[in-house]
Chains A and B, each alone.
Chain A
Amino acid sequence: MRRRLQTRLGTGLAALAVALLAVAFWSDRPVHANAGDAVDYASPLEVLLSPDGARLYVLCQQSEEVRVLDAASFAVIKNIAVGRVPRGFSLSPDGGRLFVTNSWDDTLSVIDTSTLAVAATWPVGAEPSSVVEDRAGKRLFVANRISSDVAVLDAQTGVEEKRLLAGRGSSYLTLSPGGSRIYATHIYPNPPRVRTEQDNRTAPESEITVIDAARAVVVDRIPLHRIAGVFHVAISADGRLGVVSEYHPKNLIPLAHLEHGGAFAYTITVFGADVGKASVEVPLDELERYASQPFGVAIAPDKSRIYVTSGGSEMVTVVDVPRLLRFIHTHNGPFVQDLSASANYVAARIAVGRNPRGLTLTRDGRRLFVANRMEDTISVIDTRTNRVASTITLAGPKTLSVLRKGEQAFYTARYSFQGQIGCSSCHIDSTFDGITWDLEPDGFGRDIVANKMLEGVKDTEPYKWTGTNPDIPTECGPRTEKYFWRSETFDNLTLTDLAAYIRSLEPRPNRWRLANGEQTPAQERGQELFTRSVDKFGKPIDEHNRCSYCHSGPKGTNQKISDVGTRKPTDNTGLLKAVPLTEIALIAPYLHDGSARTLEEIWTVYNPEDKHGRTNDLTKDELNDLIEYLRTR
């Protein structure tokens, strides 16, 4: 991909870019491209302005580059190729370096902004997703999504000093304007702190991790109760107000309807001295209209406004800060269930492009740039009028491929009742959400199910834990229409696109496999246990009770239904499909209902009769070996 891009660049980048780039207002829907088109969409995910406001940096996730635009004319200055699937970027405080986290090859690109060339590429942690440099230029902080930590690096050499424990799915960072604190958020909920019999039905808990930038230690964790999915975090220029965007799932009640925010509340949490309390959560939604999937947040330089993008609702919500503070100071919460609350502080809702994500304000706060990821555009909003003044169209294919259309359908909330949810409400970034749900069709309180990873789902049918959906179109079509949307569902063409997109989701690189393709001794031992046919006492293990029987094949599933002894009193059946092992290390909690918090618990707690494989003859170190092997799947 990069080679192709470089070739393109080498054959007349400037002329091509100028030709392709235009300042345009909303245009008609592009025509559909043929299925299977190989195209490089830009998919702008984040935007930044240089300190002098002259340049607009656009992080393009799919074309894997940073596009540098003139912030006045929007002309392309340069496209800079970076690593695989870049997810986050930030400027050094002096603007001299631009750091890019490449989430799929675990590297950090260091771009010299004077030459607009990659000066260094440093190896970092597992799935780096965001980066900030401290004021002193001494340290870099990198949020690693898979290892759920924040790595501390030497800012000059990239050598890692240590890692700080962050929330699960550590993803977004911001440096306080004064430079003393770094705030970190995470996209999956933390495991429950206290073990209970109802672990799979505890409310999700998240946090804002507060790091002392000078000492590089965690000094506080601001709890976010009942939150699963926290995204951008912003701090006001005076350091007195912080805000995060987040999802508030209603997963502890049956998902019986979408009315009145039945599935989600989409909220922000504000914190800091201005708030006067540890934190306050307020909804962005209003009655019969939802701010689905909030992502980017920015605070106006004068602290008059908070801007929040909603990827599913395809809009920017403008929050009047003085009104918000007045509201939370004069009313007693919680506010999250109150769909009338937002009327007290939402000043405007601005429609932008498809799947808006990152956003950035000019230093005077008069213009707001919004990256529309699924449309390859940047909306330029005049903050005085709260209207889209112009739209920058990024270079890319003129037509929409099947996969692109499917991805658009996946991320939008426009198909659901009152626009409340999209596929990506639960499958964050096309993955999962780490929580369990009570889906109504099985009966209230029946068949609690854990949400699962979509990557690698191709060719693992039947779907649903009970295997009752024969294929993805059935899973995403009638089932979705009936039980989720409560509204018109996708038309057949869109459903085909969506299924094609879901089938295209390849597993991310496995971080537990050795680079040379070999196995560690523990992984080797674990694989032997996985494939064994005789137990520790020399007794043959029934074929159906071997790990490698149900979890056979390249994806670790024989796609058959069986009873592994995990049925709960609330389950309608104990017959379950063998779950694929793809990315099994990432997708806790485990078992159909999420009752096993860790891989270990599948066998130490929930396999008393050896129905889920013969495992009770194993020693603790052998079970550890088995798990080390499973992590490589």
Chain B
Amino acid sequence: MKKLCMIALLLVASAAASAAPAASAPKATAGTEASQGAQAPSAPPQVAAPQVLPRYRFENFTTANGLPDNHVFSVLVDGDRIWAGTENGLAVYENHAWRTYSTQDGLAHRAVLSLALDKRTGDVWAGTMAGLSRISGGRIDTYTQLNSGLSNDVVYGVSVEGENVWVATAAGACRLNTRTGQWTLYNERNTPMVEIWVYAVSAAPDKVYYAVWGSGLLEYTQKTGRWDKYEDPDGENEIVLFKDQGLIHEIVTSVSYVENIVWAATYFGASRYDGRYWHNFLTKDSGLPSNFINSIKGVDGNRAWFCTDKGLAYYDGVNWAVYRPSLKDGKPEMTVRDAQGKVTPVAVTTAPAHNYVLGIDFQGSDIWVATAKGLSHGIRQPQ
């Protein structure tokens, strides 16, 4: 009965969503420079707009030119510095040279899964396979499940908001108040979390979102301390009964909260949520190159980047672009899909280092991309 009610409600919501007004036309730039002006939450745009999707010249970094490892799990832009979380240390690119922090420097573990920047202090937080490290002015302090209140040593995600560091681990979520040193743990005992395998976190002054493997998307309201949970209305069925009825799947791998819009990635598609309406993305009805999405990062409320196992995708609110080495022959490839579903190849000479993409960050109009075989710098090309 409960499920029937939910489906009925979702049908109403879906109908309302399709009647919602279109969003503003996409902006011209792809990186963070374009995310300056705040936009009101809105339903996903339904109309096409003339658009020239961004083109990049990719410069790829591997062990051949300074990276400590080709498996790059995460990337973080910090002004002119680029941090790359690899399987063999935390690399930082500055003044055209790479330097690597290792466990000998105090890094919690050589495999760095996640990165976050405290923009106020410049400190970098690194989630690793064996703890959470804080890199501050060259000094590394490490928090583990043994020496601190950290819930678990496998830190999949980290996000900084104000004086709090929000952490996603393999055994629940937690928050470190850097002022008081107090740890607060969130798990099945005090949140709607069923599974405690927490994959990612995105924190903002008003809300904090956790992507939980098998337990959907958790929302924490900072003002009230209330937890809410968004799940796949289809439950654990590996089918989508109705489009845009809720979160696309329970296995949420990544979340990005920007301009009051939640972008959520799963291994079975992606979702956009504006606080009332959901819009889901699948390969069959969008430009996504794959439903297996490792990471997602919103540029703003309408635009986002999707890191999939079959390439890097960009959605400008109407159109899609995919950047990757060709799945057929490995040659650089860029394709554009317009609102009508027409796919057009674009002639390019470079592509990200690999089509298995794990992370992305923005440097002005440029992008930096973490892949399974190197780190790529996408240098925006004039068009």
Interface residues of A (CB under 8 A from B): 125, 147, 161-165, 190-191, 193-195, 207, 209-210, 215, 217-221, 512, 522, 597-598, 600-601, 604-605, 619-621, 623-624, 627-628
Binds A, one of B103-111, B210-218, B232-240, B252-260: B103-111
Q: B228 contacts the other chain (Cβ, under 8 Å)? A: no
Task: Name 12 A/B residue pairs within 8 A (Cβ), A-sorted.
Answer: A162-B120, A163-B178, A165-B134, A165-B137, A165-B141, A190-B139, A195-B147, A217-B121, A221-B136, A600-B149, A601-B147, A628-B182
Query: Which residues from 132 to 182 on chain B have a C-beta closer than 8 Å to any C-beta of chain A?
Result: 134, 136-142, 145-149, 151-152, 163, 171, 178-182
Residues from chain A with a CB closer than 8 A to the CB of B187 are 621
Q: Is the interface of B mostly helix, strand, loop or mixed?
A: loop
CA distance A165 to B122 in the complex (A): 10
CA distance A601 to B105 in the complex (A): 21
Q: B265 contacts the other chain (Cβ, under 8 Å)? A: no
Residues from chain A with a CB closer than 8 A to the CB of B163 are 162-163
Residues from chain A with a CB closer than 8 A to the CB of B338 are none
Cβ-defined partner of A194 (8 Å) among B104, B121, B136, B182: B104
Cβ-defined partner of B120 (8 Å) among A161, A620, A623: A161
Give the B interface residue count (CB, 8 A). Answer: 36
Cβ-defined partner of A165 (8 Å) among B123, B171, B180, B189: B123
Among B123, B136, B137, max chain A CB count under 10 A is at: B137
- A-B pairs under 8 A by CB, number: 88
Cβ-defined partner of A598 (8 Å) among B134, B148, B151, B189: B148
Q: B183 contacts the other chain (Cβ, under 8 Å)? A: yes
Question: Cβ of A221 and Cβ of B139 under 8 Å apart?
Answer: yes
Among A161, A522, A598, max chain B CB count under 10 A is at: A598
Query: How far does the Cβ of A591 sit from chain B's closest Cβ, in whole Å?
Result: 13
Known A147-B179, A600-B147, A604-B146; judge A221-B122 contact (CB<8 A).
no
Known A600-B149, A605-B146; judge A210-B179 contact (CB<8 A).
no
Residues from chain B with a CB closer than 8 A to the CB of A190 are 139
Question: Cβ of B106 and Cβ of A620 under 8 Å apart?
Answer: no
Contact with A along B276-302 (1 / 0, CB 8 A): 000000000000000000000000000
Question: Cβ of B145 and Cβ of A165 under 8 Å apart?
Answer: no
Q: B46 contacts the other chain (Cβ, under 8 Å)? A: no
Residues from chain A with a CB closer than 8 A to the CB of B222 are none
Cβ-defined partner of A221 (8 Å) among B104, B138, B171, B181: B138
Query: How far does the Cβ of B182 sit from chain A's closest Cβ, in whole Å?
Result: 6
Question: Cβ of B137 and Cβ of A209 under 8 Å apart?
Answer: yes
Q: B63 contacts the other chain (Cβ, under 8 Å)? A: no
Question: Cβ of B184 and Cβ of A522 under 8 Å apart?
Answer: yes
CA distance A190 to B134 in the complex (A): 14
Query: How far does the Cβ of A148 sit from chain B's closest Cβ, in whole Å?
Result: 9
Question: Cβ of A219 and Cβ of B147 under 8 Å apart?
Answer: no
Q: B75 contacts the other chain (Cβ, under 8 Å)? A: no
Residues from chain B with a CB closer than 8 A to the CB of A619 are 189
Residues from chain A with a CB closer than 8 A to the CB of B152 are 620
Residues from chain A with a CB closer than 8 A to the CB of B247 are none
Residues from chain B with a CB closer than 8 A to the CB of A605 are 146
Query: How far does the Cβ of B381 sit from chain A's closest Cβ, in whole Å?
Result: 32
Q: B322 contacts the other chain (Cβ, under 8 Å)? A: no
Residues from chain B with a CB closer than 8 A to the CB of A209 are 137
Residues from chain A with a CB closer than 8 A to the CB of B123 are 165, 218
CA distance A621 to B148 in the complex (A): 11
Cβ-defined partner of A164 (8 Å) among B103, B121, B138, B180: B121
Question: Cβ of B146 and Cβ of A624 under 8 Å apart?
Answer: no
Question: Cβ of A219 and Cβ of B151 under 8 Å apart?
Answer: no
In the complex, the chain A residue whose C-beta lies closest to that of B105 is: A193
Known A147-B179, A194-B103, A218-B137; judge A600-B148 contact (CB<8 A).
yes
Question: Cβ of B146 and Cβ of A601 under 8 Å apart?
Answer: yes
Question: Cβ of A193 and Cβ of B140 under 8 Å apart?
Answer: yes
Query: How far does the Cβ of A597 sit from chain B's closest Cβ, in whole Å?
Result: 6
Question: Cβ of B183 and Cβ of A624 under 8 Å apart?
Answer: yes
Question: Cβ of B147 and Cβ of A598 under 8 Å apart?
Answer: yes
Known A163-B178, A628-B182; judge A191-B141 contact (CB<8 A).
yes
Cβ-defined partner of A217 (8 Å) among B122, B146, B151: B122
Residues from chain A with a CB closer than 8 A to the CB of B147 are 195, 597-598, 600-601, 604
Residues from chain A with a CB closer than 8 A to the CB of B141 are 165, 191, 193
Query: Which residues from 95 to 115 on chain B have a C-beta closer than 8 Å to any C-beta of chain A?
Result: 103-106
For the A-B complex with A163-B178, A195-B147, A221-B138 known, give 4 more contacts whose Cβ atoms are closer than 8 Å.
A220-B137, A619-B189, A620-B152, A621-B185
Known A165-B134, A600-B149, A620-B151; judge A522-B121 contact (CB<8 A).
no
Query: How far does the Cβ of A531 sit from chain B's closest Cβ, in whole Å?
Result: 21
Contact with A along B174-208 (1 / 0, CB 8 A): 00001111111101011000000000000000000
Question: Cβ of B106 and Cβ of A194 under 8 Å apart?
Answer: yes
Residues from chain B with a CB closer than 8 A to the CB of A627 are 149
CA distance A217 to B181 in the complex (A): 20
In the complex, the chain A residue whose C-beta lies closest to that of B149 is: A624
Residues from chain B with a CB closer than 8 A to the CB of A522 are 182, 184
